[in-house]
Structure 1
Amino acid sequence: MGNDTDLVETLLRQLSTVFKIRDLGTPGFFLGIETLHTSNGLLLTQRKYMRDLLQRAGMTDCKPLATPAAVTKAVTPSTQPFDNLTQYRRIVGALQYLTITRPDLSYAVNRLCQFMHSPIVDHWGLLKRVLRYIKGTIDFGLRLSATSSTAIHAYSDSDWASCPIDRKSTSGYAVFLGSNLVSWLSRKQRTVARSSTEAEYKALADVSAEVTWIVSVLREIGLYSGCPATLWCDNLGATYLCANPVFHARTKHVEIDYHFVRDRVAAGDFVVNFVSTRDQLADVFTKPLPASRFAMLRDKLNVVSHPP
């Protein structure tokens, strides 16, 4: 793709002399992802993929729900294993691919993936809830709008000791290029955090590594603005820890590699700012939320319904 039609056509002709290719015109479907053109950009959706997934699970006529995860006590291991392990694993694997255009599913799918080795009946119930949510939002997709800004700003969050089984925390982040969401993550942390500040600092380290990679890509294609990326965190302790080395004497239990964030801040690559929990967009990647707040954050992540 490019803004110079002659250059694009010249490149295609040169490629055709070496490889057997053909121009299929404006993209419609690519790897199961449908591209819909809107008034100010594109909408990436997987409607057909979602319909096929519901049919495979036998839930084509299920009742839709407003959220993919219930705001209730997390599932704990029981003695009632699910009898069809292959079906559970196939559907959860298919849901992982769906998160390419549906970041609002990331937390729920990540939680389901944690029980792939030995799912129980309750986990199958959680999976069915996700499918019922998909049924009600089958026309939703990820919106990409035209924007002149190449500024990077990212939100990171952590739900401290949220897993009742091993007390590990859940990290989540959302990275925006201009007004467009370009990267996101929901993942359980690998180690147990001894404080909420440590958990938030680990989440900051994850998003810092991701932003570093995005900046390197933008530099290669000549679109990097040179302005430091802005990271937003809703934990004051973690925010201060990025810039104030005096705090380090009281946080020696934080692993050394997470001080990578402070080094990048000192070098001027990042600016870490505090954001209130109410405005924390990454909240949707770390915990179940009530329907009203979930819908509000989903809209801010540019997950919208396509126009009729």
Structure 2
Amino acid sequence: MGFFLKRCTWNNPLGFKTQLVVIMFASCIVLYMVSSRLREPDFNDSHRNASSTISAILETLSAEFSIKDLGLLHFFLGIEAVPHSNGLLLYQGRYIDDLLHRAGMSECKPVQTPMATTTKPSEKGGGLMSNPTLYRSIVGALQYVTLTRPNLSFAVNKICQFMHAPTEDHWQMVKRILHYLKHTRSFGLLLSRSNDNRLQAFSDPDWAGSSDDRKSTGGYAIFLGPNLISWSSRKQRTVARSSTESEYKALADAAA
């Protein structure tokens, strides 16, 4: 999506292991500091130390560039940041509200799941949409929602496969996702404080899940400690001749 993220870690004199996360997008910069206790210092001293560190960084940047400090992070490119007792919660409630309004579904009924389990998506089925531009616009917006909603990656990947010639059946799939977003508007991604720096990856495919070309869809999720930091769901490039082959392809994508 055009983001740049950099993380650095150091032990400050107050006994905290401090992580500075820098997120850049176009002309916007987000500085986020996460401190975890190594011993029992005074919390107020730690807070003042973090604030002074960020102030020093902003002062250095302002000496070279024209910048404006917008204060504490609350809203960034459609993503709302809410302080949590265990870290920071990222969610897109306002963005989802705007998306439902654009689709004319602000008052739609909520559902519990983003996809039906009884039918498989296919290129064949239903007449062509009279307004394919609406389909492409809403699906493109749903791709942005997956920035904080990894649980939608599989469903959104499926509907993205029909952008060239969407049918009414495909539009019903999109509307099902919007109904689900109505139900889960406040769901998001929690970034937790943790000393755990272990990197763990999980992957899984649905062997021959596409009824059109028999290709599998693979997905992976990568965790740094308890935090989900990378995820994907996409159709594999070639047809897997066995479930084992599709598993290896999904594993290769996760390790790439």
TM-score, with length taken from structure 1: 0.66
CA contact (8 A) 2:126 2:168 kept: no
Does residue 13 (structure 1) correspond to residue 39 (structure 2)? The answer is: no
Alignment RMSD, CA only?
1.2
Equivalent position of 2:42 in the other structure: none
TM alignment of 1:15-94, pairs within 5 A: 15-76=61-122, 77-78=124-125, 80-94=127-141
- Distance, in Å, in 1 between the alignment partners of 2:126 and 2:101 is 29
Flag the structure with higher helix content: 1
TM-score, with length taken from structure 2: 0.79
Amino acid at match of 2:176: R
Note the alpha carbon deviations across 1:17-54, whole angstroms, 9 max, x for none: 22111221110101110000111111101000000000
Amino acid at match of 1:75: P
**Structure 2: which 5+ runs fail to align?**
1-30, 36-49
CA contact (8 A) 2:114 2:177 kept: yes
Note the alpha carbon deviations across 1:213-263, whole angstroms, 9 max, x for none: xxxxxxxxxxxxxxxxxxxxxxxxxxxxxxxxxxxxxxxxxxxxxxxxxxx
Structure 2 SS opposite 1:15: helix
TM alignment of 1:1-308, pairs within 5 A: 1=31, 2=33, 4-76=50-122, 77-78=124-125, 80-209=127-256
- Distance, in Å, in 2 between the alignment partners of 1:22 and 1:52 is 27
- CA drift of 1:78 comes to 3.1
- CA drift of 1:154 comes to 1.0
- Distance, in Å, in 1 between the alignment partners of 2:200 and 2:121 is 34
Structure 1 SS opposite 2:65: coil
- CA drift of 1:79 comes to 5.8
- Distance, in Å, in 2 between the alignment partners of 1:60 and 1:22 is 35
Give % identity: 56
Note the alpha carbon deviations across 1:94-150, whole angstroms, 9 max, x for none: 000000001111111000000000011100010110000000011111111111100
Structure 2 SS opposite 1:175: strand
Aligned residues: 209
Amino acid at match of 2:109: K
- Once the two structures are overlaid, the 10-residue window that deviates more, 78-87 or 28-37, is 78-87
- Distance, in Å, in 1 between the alignment partners of 2:209 and 2:52 is 55
Note the alpha carbon deviations across 1:37-94, whole angstroms, 9 max, x for none: 1111111010000000001001111111000001012133136111110000000000
Amino acid at match of 1:57: A
**Structure 1: which 5+ runs fail to align?**
210-308
- Distance, in Å, in 1 between the alignment partners of 2:54 and 2:171 is 49
Structure with greater contact order relative to length (CA < 8 Å, sep ≥ 6): 1
- Distance, in Å, in 2 between the alignment partners of 1:6 and 1:66 is 45
- Distance, in Å, in 2 between the alignment partners of 1:78 and 1:172 is 26
- Distance, in Å, in 2 between the alignment partners of 1:24 and 1:179 is 30
- Distance, in Å, in 2 between the alignment partners of 1:154 and 1:208 is 8
Structure 1 SS opposite 2:228: strand
- CA drift of 1:5 comes to 3.9
- Distance, in Å, in 1 between the alignment partners of 2:57 and 2:127 is 59
